[in-house]
Chains A and B, each alone.
Chain A
Amino acid sequence: MLQIRRLSAAYQTRPVLRDISLDVNNGEVLALIGPNGAGKSTIIRALSGVIPSSGEMRSDGDDLRALDATQRAQRIAVVPQAISLPPAFTVWETAAMGRAPYLGFLGNASSRDDELTRAALTRVNALTLSERRVGELSGGEAQRVLLARALCQAAPTLLLDEPTAHLDLHYQVSLLELIRELAQEENFAVLIALHDLNLAARYAHRVALLVNGTLTAVGSPRNVLTSETLSAAYGVDVVVAEHPFLNIPLALPK
């Protein structure tokens, strides 16, 4: 379980996150939504320790601030957007780097590490790509390899930063489905920044709306994705309709 209390962060002197408090339960996918620049990526960067922040962050009760980079990497795995990856590494090499927080200084993998890498690549359906270079992959394939790398980290918390941003519909759907399955199978706490509201409604258990660095609504998609809330957050008129086949809301510009 990921617990965030009064998390704040600033770039230079401009505050970008103010007093964020949020819990992500094990087995749950929580989608962070909100306009561009609202601070979705900033939350992820603060949690992974890339930028300084204040407030409390705990993973399964352990205070993340008390941990060094390696220990933190064993608690939190980050899946970034699959852009500007080093193209010359193979798929296997890239996924295996998820074992880094467990390896010695020289990075020699044991047969157990290899097994975990193989299992992770199999789980994301990318084992057959093992010998390919990352530079030759499609966006969807590369994104799956990064997910495999995160699985190799064997961390209880998974953070994903707009993983579907550059993917076509087919890959968006299959990736999010996979992420939801993984959350339940592995009991991960999954925090995922998404800007597609309908994908969030479809695949997240809960949704948190972030506007100007502040959380304005947290709850089930049906409770958060309302016409009033979204219209105010995005500054355009939004109507919320019913999905014709599923019991979920659909948000559309008026």
Chain B
Amino acid sequence: MKKSLLLFSLTLLFAALLSLAIGSIFISPADLWKILRGIGEDKFAFIVWNIRLPRTVLVALTGAALSGSGAAYQGLFRNPLADPFLIGVASGAGLGAVLAMTVQWPYTFWGLLAIPASSFIFALLTVFIVYFFARVGRAVPTTNLILTGVAFSSFATSLTSFFMLRSANEVRRALGWLLGGASQSGWTAILAILPYLVVGLGVLLLFGYRLNLLQFGDDQAQSLGINVTRTKTVILVAASLATAAAVAFSGIIGFIGLVVPHIVRLWFGADYRRLIPLSILGGASALLFSDVIARVVLAPQELPVGIVTALAGAPFFLWVLRRVKNQGYW
């Protein structure tokens, strides 16, 4: 556990430094070191402190939130393919965010706070709707979950487009947001989502053992001594808080919440007390790497990071689907 945490922390540190160094202007490790100590060249220092650092932090937080909540949704639905994007929660949260944005584009701090709040409400609504339609008795079969998620996702995305087109003057900016670009970020956005993230991920970190017990199904979890309904509700709300925080300013980024927990599970086993923290660290690193790729592929133009994660994640999804089908095992 300690070794794996250290390994994942070092990876995250490396990803963060890479994200600070790489972009339309390359900053060498030596220069970066100077800047971080406060003695670098002014022009570069400005880029690092005011553009790249907030972006790096936001991307890392977003990845952490998507991957941590992905792991939690997988545990909650007892389904390896649950991911905030695939089950529609991300699109629901996105609709909430866009609604808040189109009411008035938030230039003020309070306006910024309204976005994650609205995201959160819509994320929760989505979870309940999707769960309600997908469940058969007490189980949530994969096919139902994904089909319901996709159907709801299209619905929410269409509404999102409608609201964006209606408020024509902000379309371009919102479109960039929708495809998952953190380019419009700043320290205020980070401050606005931080409370949601801390509460959401904090609760998930504490509920690892409860998630382990829930893997045996409601009856067994109850007979092992946990209050199933209350526990599930808390985890659901926490995961949705984290998802909403991620979506509010970084848009809809798919597959991070699926791929990262899955790799962690393959390497380190199914114990959620390990899975949640490692997914959080791993998700932050994975999205930082994706964001770096998104910045360099068509430089100086930037790709929305959602394109990178989908290109890498969708084939992975198909592989997992096959694996689950073949051995009923994850």
Q: Count chain A CB atoms within 10 A of each CB in B218, B224, B226, B227 and give the residue with the most.
A: B224
Given A84-B217, A106-B206, does the pair A48, B223 have CB atoms closer than 8 Å?
yes
A97 to B222, CA, bound (A): 12
Whether a CB of chain B sits under 8 angstroms from the CB of A50 is yes
Known contacts A85-B216, A106-B206: does B223 contact A50 (CB below 8 Å)?
Answer: yes
Residues B330 and A72 in contact, CB atoms below 8 Å apart: no
Distance in Å: Cβ of B210 to nearest Cβ of chain A: 8
Q: Given A73-B224, A78-B220: A89 and B209 within 8 A (CB)?
A: no
B88 at the interface (CB under 8 A from A): no
CA of A165 to CA of B273 in the docked complex: distance in angstroms?
33
Q: Is the pair B330, A97 in contact by a Cβ cutoff of 8 Å? A: no
Q: Is B328's beta carbon under 8 Å from chain A? A: yes
The docked-state distance in angstroms from the alpha carbon of A50 to that of B222 is 7
* Chain A: minimal CB distance from B78 (Å): 7
Knowing A80-B220, A84-B217, A86-B270, say if A107 contacts B209 (CB, 8 Å): yes
**CB nearest to A88 among chain B residues:** B270
CA distance A71 to B226 in the complex (A): 10
B: interface residue count bin: 20 to 34
A174 on interface, CB distance cutoff 8 Å: no
Given contacts A70-B226, A101-B224, contact A48 B330 (CB under 8 A): no
- Give the shortest distance, in Å, between A40 (CB) and chain B (any CB): 15
Question: From residue 315 to 330 of chain B, which have CB atoms closer than 8 A to chain A?
Answer: 327-330
B265, A100: Cβ atoms closer than 8 Å: no
Task: Name A78's contact: one of B209, B212, B223, B330 (CB within 8 Å).
Answer: B223
Bitwise, A70-93 to B at CB < 8 A (1) or not (0) is 111110111010001111111001
| Residue from the list B208, B216, B223, B327 in contact with A107, Cβ < 8 A | B208
Are B223 and A89 interface neighbours, CB within 8 A?
no
Which of A49, A80, A86 is most buried by chain B, counting CB atoms within 10 A of its CB?
A: A86
For the complex, give the distance between the alpha carbons of A110 and B327 in Å. 35
B213 contacts the other chain (Cβ, under 8 Å)? yes
Per the bound structure, the CA–CA distance linking A69 and B213 in Å amounts to 13
CB-defined contacts of A78 to chain B, threshold 8 Å: 219-220, 223
**Which of chain B's residues has its CB closest to A104's CB?**
B209
How far, in whole Å, are A68 and B223 apart by their CA atoms in the complex? 11
Q: Are B216 and A97 in contact (CB under 8 A)?
A: yes
Does A135 contact B225, Cβ atoms closer than 8 Å? Answer: no
Query: B219 and A48: CB pair below 8 A?
Result: yes
Query: How far does the alpha carbon of A101 sit from the alpha carbon of B227 in the complex, in Å?
Result: 11
Is A45 an interface residue when CB atoms closer than 8 A count as contact? Answer: yes
Write the nearest CB–CB distance from A66 to chain B, whole angstroms: 15
Inter-chain CA distance A103–B222, complex, in Å, is 15
**B29 part of interface (Cβ distance < 8 Å):** no
* A residues in contact with B218, CB < 8 Å: 50
Mark out the residues of chain A between 26 and 45 whose CB falls within 8 Å of any chain B CB in the assembled complex.
45
Residue-wise interface mask of B (168-210) relative to A, using a CB-CB cutoff of 8 A (1 in contact, 0 not): 0000000000000000000000000000000000000010111
- Would you give the shortest CB distance from A207 to chain B, in whole angstroms? 24
- Shortest CB distance A189–B (Å): 16
Which residues of the other chain, A, contact B219 by a CB distance below 8 angstroms?
45, 48, 50, 78, 80
> Is residue A98 contacting chain B, with contact meaning CB distance below 8 A?
yes
B329 touches A87 (CB 8 A): yes
**Which chain B residues border A245 with CB–CB below 8 Å?**
none
Contact B225 A72 (CB under 8 A): yes
- Is B226 touching A89 in the complex (CB atoms < 8 A)? no
Residues in chain B near residue A69, CB distance under 8 A:
222, 225-227
16 contacts between A and B (CB under 8 A): A49-B222, A71-B225, A77-B223, A78-B219, A78-B223, A88-B270, A89-B212, A93-B212, A93-B271, A98-B224, A101-B224, A103-B209, A106-B206, A106-B209, A107-B209, A107-B273
Instruction: Please report B residues at the A interface, Cβ cutoff 8 Å.
Output: 78, 206, 208-210, 212-213, 215-220, 222-227, 265, 269-271, 273, 327-330
Instruction: Given A93-B269, A97-B224, output 5 extra A-B contacts at Cβ < 8 Å.
Output: A49-B223, A73-B224, A77-B223, A101-B224, A106-B206
